[in-house]
Chains A and B, each alone.
Chain A
Amino acid sequence: MKVTVKYFAVCHEMLNRSEEEMELPEDATVRTILKRLEEEWPEIAEFYEVMQMSVNWEYATEDTELSEGDEVALIPPVTGGTDV
């Protein structure tokens, strides 16, 4: 199946792209994507502790199962608003 993966902020910069299509096995979960990114960028594993993932605009876990056409995103710690 094909899913779209989006990268924001620090992830966008480190991976040098804002999104991509990924071809995944039928039984893929969010973890499948994390493992694949880790092969390309081993340091990303250190960020996994504080990073969230989303599937179709909802926070997800590593075990969340994926379906054809899903929109997955890596969500670094958010800092909207201001420190007020």
Chain B
Amino acid sequence: MCETPGNPASQRVLLEIKNLQLDFLQDGRPVRALDGISLSVEAGETLCLVGESGSGKSVTGLSVARLLPSPPAVYAGGEILVEGRDTLRMSQDQLREVRGGVVGYIFQEPAASLNPVYRVGTQIKEALKLHRPQEAVDREVIRLLSLVGIPAPETRARSYPHELSGGMQQRVMIAIALASRPKLLIADEPTTALDVTIQAQILELLLSLKKQFGMAILLITHNLGIVSEIADRAAVMYAGQIVETGPARDVLAHPLHPYTRALLESMPRLGVGSERLKAIRGSVPQLGAFPGGCRFHPRCDDARASCATDPVALLGTGAGRATRCPFSQ
């Protein structure tokens, strides 16, 4: 991508994905889901992967610790370097050290990730036993619960998941992820199932944990507002490719790629009134039916004849930015 080799900051790179190609087997035939994904996350940094359904943002996040079952997923090329070691070449034992140890995950539906028949304290203790066995004690469980802002942690440790609200369940998931002191937290739409007031609480918690522990966050979202609130850098995905990347503020204020620009223009904004929205025509392309040439060309207002045929590369434009459109201003 646009990181220059030999950059002193590159020693602090926690995660580096290089030209990742990933297929899904559909009826025995490989269908490309990720096409040449390259990105990096430095220690203490928040990178937002933004995209709509089917863009490949969740698949990218899951592949970091190889959480996708294979088959149907087939890693067809590239590298995923976690602290310099390629997870695509790791044994199951080595992967287990990365999962939880270096990389922690939280997901959209906390209720689906928690075991309904165990008390939440037990589930946090289980994570401690795996990663910090000598500290797998009630005191540490309660410390983690209060760290993520759960009131009356002594009582709450004895609750079952269904006795907690969605926001509290997500806090428990974060406590479980923190149990192993990960250096990178991958949060896949962590607030999408929550109300806005609870979403604000969880985002605030993530930011404070990041400050406290210098933890890096790879946040996957479809919400550009969240990107603006939380991200240092952003990578916009469309149809299995990164189409634009750069410092979050610049990407949102001066988008380079027509897709990013159209996405920003199509969103209603508070306090702007009721002018007609500028919609993007057509719909998001489905896996296996990504258009040739530039994948956004059938929906792009600025498309030219060559866009339908010529493949386009993600090219740096300076200042840490890159776009997959040769006609970006």
Task: Tell me, yes or no, whether A binds B.
Answer: no
Residues of B within 8 A of A (CB): none
